[in-house]
Amino acid sequence: MSYRCPKCPAAVYVPDSGRACWNCGERAELWQDFSTATTAFSAIYSDVTGRLRAIASRPTVQDTNRQWFDYLIHGFHDQYLAWQWKPDVRAYLLGFHRARVPRLFSLSGDVYLHISYDLPRVIATSLGNVPADDFGVIPRPPSSVEDGSILYLAATDEFFKVLDKHAVSYQVSGLLALPAAIARSLLALRVLGFWVIALRNAAWIHAQVLAKSVVRDKLEESLITSVRAAAADALKSPWNPARWSIPTPQLLAFFLSFVFLGGASASEPLTMIAVVVAVIALYSMSVYALTVRSIDRLGRAIYNAANAVFESALSNETALILPPEDRPRPLAG
């Protein structure tokens, strides 16, 4: 896989081997923990990819559109792999992949980034007249934007199915996999699913603008900057469990010693066990409830941040985002 050098966009090289750009010597610094950090995302991702392929291989889908869809699937995956060497993307991701961040929240960070930043750029490349993408692959257009949009929407329902399926996996949900197996879904992942749909639809709209924009590079840069800022804000909230610096075992030990010292006598072992179980359950439930809340708020923040980039470009008269012939004419009369 090759990549367009960020310093000299004409140069294409392969940074995943740690090689330097042949033209300017820029060496991509690799994120060593990339695969381990994004395991949960990657598991869900390959499931989604399989389902998208199944949709594209339906006999009702024209060859042109199948090739276009294939291009998107490859393009999305290339962008995901590029996370390991793109500094701005890595800065975003490191906020989510730290010790003590609830794993469902880390997963949401990955999912939101991919949909709000990677998707619109790949779709835009497939719709515009770009000779080759950042990875040196020749994009395939759909038979028409309308046909493409219908095929794109057809995939929507798959996301809930995939998220429900993976809710029961320890890799994705941790200990919550147990209650998820009984409920056959997990509220945190359902909330994530709703934002996945919203962000994915917005990505389609953003892609239409990017594809025709005369300031595409600028818009893309603003997009990652805004998404990063929105995430940094969400991570700063005192109600976000990702921010808590007291590690769970220590907090539990504190609770337990409080219970033991605070009157539960050894002559009532059953009462003592009940209190300990109740405290652990209450604590876990609070962390979970706040995680769900954080996933929801992050989705909303990124959704608004991405939209605001295009809104401000439109209202800023010095930054014309579309060439004159594509600008809507005022209605006559």
Q: What is the DSSP secondary-structure string of 252-311? A: HHHHHHHHHHTT--TT-HHHHHHHHHHHHHHHHHHHHHHHHHHHHHHHHHHHHHHHHHHH
CB contact at 8 A, 298 and 194: no
Closer CB to Zn ion, residue 10 or residue 266?
10
Q: Per DSSP, which regions of 41-161 are E strands?
A: none
Cβ at position 122, least distance to Zn ion in Å: 22
User: Alpha carbon 307 to chain centroid distance?
Assistant: 16
Nearer to Zn ion, 9 or 247 (CB): 9
Kind of pairing, strands 12-13 and 3-4? antiparallel
Tell whether residue 5 is a contact of Zn ion (CB under 5 A).
Answer: yes
Give, as ranges, the residues between 25 and 64 that touch Zn ion (CB under 5 A).
Answer: 26
Least Å distance, CB 8 to Zn ion, is 4
Cα–Cα distance, 46 to 287 (Å, whole number): 29
Cβ–Cβ < 8 Å for 232, 109: no
- The Cα–Cα gap between 56 and 77 comes to 16
Least distance to Zn ion, CB of residue 25, Å: 7
Q: Which is nearer to Zn ion, 11 or 264 (CB)?
A: 11
Residue 8 vs 319, nearer CB to Zn ion:
8
Question: In angstroms, what is the minimal distance from the CB of 6 to Zn ion?
Answer: 7
Cβ nearer to Zn ion, comparing 16 with 233? 16
At closest approach, how far in Å is the CB of 78 from Zn ion? 18
Helix axes 269-315, 216-236, angle to 10 degrees: 150
Helix (H) or strand (E) holding 4: strand 3-4
Residues 13-32 within binding reach of Zn ion (CB under 5 A): 21, 23-24, 26
Comparing CB distances to Zn ion, the nearer of 11 and 272 is: 11
Binding residue (CB under 5 A) for Zn ion from 1, 11, 198, 256? 11
Tokens of 34: 């990339």
In the complex, the smallest distance separating the C-beta of residue 9 from Zn ion, rounded to whole angstroms, is: 8
Q: Which stretch binds Zn ion (CB under 5 A): 2-10, 41-49, 236-244, 282-290?
A: 2-10
Tell which one of 1, 2, 4, 8 touches Zn ion (CB under 5 A). 8
Residue number, 4 or 212, with CB nearest to Zn ion: 4
| Residues near Zn ion, by CB under 5 A | 5, 7-8, 11, 21, 23-24, 26
